[in-house]
Amino acid sequence: MRPFTYERPTSVRDAVALAQSSGEAHVTAPVQYKGGGTNLIDLMKLDVMRPTRLVDITRLEGERLHTVERSPQGLRIGALVPMAVLADMPDVRRDFPVLTDALWLAASAQLRNMARLGGNVLQRTRCPYFRDTTYRECNKREPGSGCAAKDGFNRLHAVLGTSDQCIATYAGDWGQALIALDAYVEILSPEGPRSMLFADLHRLPGDTPWIETTLAPGELITGFVVPGGPWPRSKYLKIRDRESYAFANASAAVALALEGGIARDVRIALGGLATRPWRASKAEAMLRGQSLTEELAMAAAEAEFADAVAHEHNAFKIPLGKATIVRALMELQGMDA
Ligand SMILES: Cc1cc2nc3c(=O)[nH]c(=O)nc-3n(C[C@H](O)[C@H](O)[C@H](O)COP(=O)(O)OP(=O)(O)OC[C@H]3O[C@@H](n4cnc5c(N)ncnc54)[C@H](O)[C@@H]3O)c2cc1C
């Protein structure tokens, strides 16, 4: 047992003030917000995360942290909304199915009741070499120690966005849906609020895989904004080893606007395949404004994976990823919307 202090503020300003610490916002940061705790406490029990202060944010009031609001400008979702609450909202399910599918296909009912959306997007990789401290080599956990996965068992590791330092897969599902809808993330720091494209929140591992996001230390995610919509022709397709309660081997969040068979707009984000939620920009560029056919979808998927890098056990993810893109596009094309 490692000692830590536990704070339970009710004001957002107090929470942000309590969370200020020196150093980089990486996995070993000494102060951590606690949402549902389903990832954080898990990693503390495994001795991977060793915070000295927890700031419980579940009782915070204000800043629209707990609400989901709909307006002509789009959808705003508070960061403390539980996964299960958004997943069960009938109008969100009707107008933005990619957002609710991605939640329904994630984790278990118990976890979805506990976990909040802010914590969901910041969940850590499931790379076994990251989660098991008996392995010495993990650059994400211990900067400069190496990457045991590269020559280890890497069946579930990434084929896109990898570096010499890290091939760990981003594990979550919902982030891909946010990227496909061009969502923004709202953030509060001691200097005040700011927002940015959700697609800019997660970093590629590069030479510093332990720095996973562009958040500054102590910054609090307060909400997500999905501009415009509705996107009834959108979906999340998740391929996994078993049908429930498993992370993705490959997934695609796709939003499609079709007009007379032409893909007027198409957004694709991939999960289970990359080191961060992955925008499939090359595939999108080939499809946009074109007549959507299976052949074109396959060519777009080929383009997206042209630079993919496989390791000993995960080469299957390249054809699987391509097939996931094609199937999601074809299923959306065939639906009444
Ligand atoms: C057995 C199991 C199976 C799972 N399967 C899936 C799955 O299939 N798909 C999937 O997507 N997920 C899955 N998960 C992960 C689960 O969805 C996450 O653990 C959960 O969403 C995290 O949310 P939380 O509120 O519990 O976050 P916490 O554990 O409280 O926090 C996670 C991290 O985010 C930080 N944080 C939390 N909230 C904020 C905020 N508002 N601002 C800034 N930082 C914040 C914390 O400091 C911490 O570092 C699974 C988890 C388990 C245990």
CA of 145 to the centre of ligand 1 (A): 26
Residue of minimum CA distance from atom 43 in ligand 1: 220
Mean pLDDT calculated for residue range 58-73: 94
Q: Are the beta carbons of 326 and 333 closer than 8 angstroms?
A: no
pLDDT tens digits along 222-241:
999 999 999 999 999 999 99
In the prediction, which pLDDT does 112 show?
Answer: 98
Give the pLDDT of residue 15: 95
Atom of ligand 1 at shortest distance to CA of 35? Answer: 30
Atom in ligand 1 nearest the alpha carbon of residue 173: 11
Confidence (pLDDT) at 1: 87
Mean pLDDT of 300-328: 98
pLDDT of 251 strictly over 60: yes
pLDDT for residue 314 is more than 80: yes
Please, which pLDDT band fits residue 63 given cuts at 50, 70 and 90?
Answer: confident
Mean pLDDT of 263-284: 98
**For the CA atoms of 256, 261, 264, 266, what is the dihedral angle to 10 degrees?**
30
Model confidence at 24, pLDDT cuts 50, 70, 90, reads low
- Is 80 exceeded by the pLDDT of residue 53? yes
Separation of 124 CA from ligand 1 center, angstroms? 8
| Percent of the chain at pLDDT exceeding 70 | 98
Q: Confidence class of residue 217 from pLDDT cuts 50, 70 and 90?
A: confident
Q: Which of 28, 101, 122 to mutate to test the pocket of ligand 1 (most atoms within 8 A of CB)?
A: 122
Distance 36 CA to ligand 1 centre (A): 7
- Per the prediction, the chain carries an average pLDDT of 96
Q: Residue 22: is its pLDDT beyond 80?
A: no
pLDDT at 334 over 70: yes
Query: Could you tell me the distance, in angstroms and rounded to a whole number, from the CA of residue 170 to the centre of ligand 1?
Result: 12
DSSP string, 24-66: -SSTT-SEEEESS-TTHHHHHHTTS---SEEEE-TT-BSTTTT
Alpha helices in the chain (DSSP H): 12-18, 40-45, 83-87, 90-95, 97-104, 109-114, 117-121, 128-131, 174-180, 281-287, 294-304, 317-334
Distance 42 CA to ligand 1 centre (A): 10
How far is 29 from 65, CA to CA, in rounded Å? 23
The ligand 1 atom nearest the CA atom of 175: 11
Atom 27 of ligand 1: nearest residue by CA position? 119
- Residue list, ligand 1 pocket, CB within 6 Å: 32-40, 42, 57, 79, 83, 106-107, 111, 114-116, 118-120, 122-123, 172-174, 220-221, 247
Sheet holding 234-239, edge to edge: 234-239, 250-259, 262-271, 278-279
Q: Report pLDDT for 23.
A: 58
Contacts of residue 118, defined as CB under 8 A and 6 or more positions apart, other chains included, come to 33, 35, 57, 79, 80, 220, 221, 222
pLDDT one-digit tens code per residue, 319-331: 999 999 999 999 9
Query: Which phi-psi region, left, alpha or beta, contains residue 297 (left: φ > 0; alpha: ψ -120 to 50)?
Result: alpha
Closest CA to 183 of 80, 66, 287, 96: 96
Q: How far is the CA of 220 from the centre of ligand 1 (A)?
A: 14
Confidence of residue 20 (pLDDT cuts 50, 70, 90): confident
Res 264: pLDDT: 97
Between 27 and 85, where is the model more confident? Answer: 85
Closest to 93 (Cα-Cα) out of 108, 103, 78: 103
- pLDDT at position 322 is 98
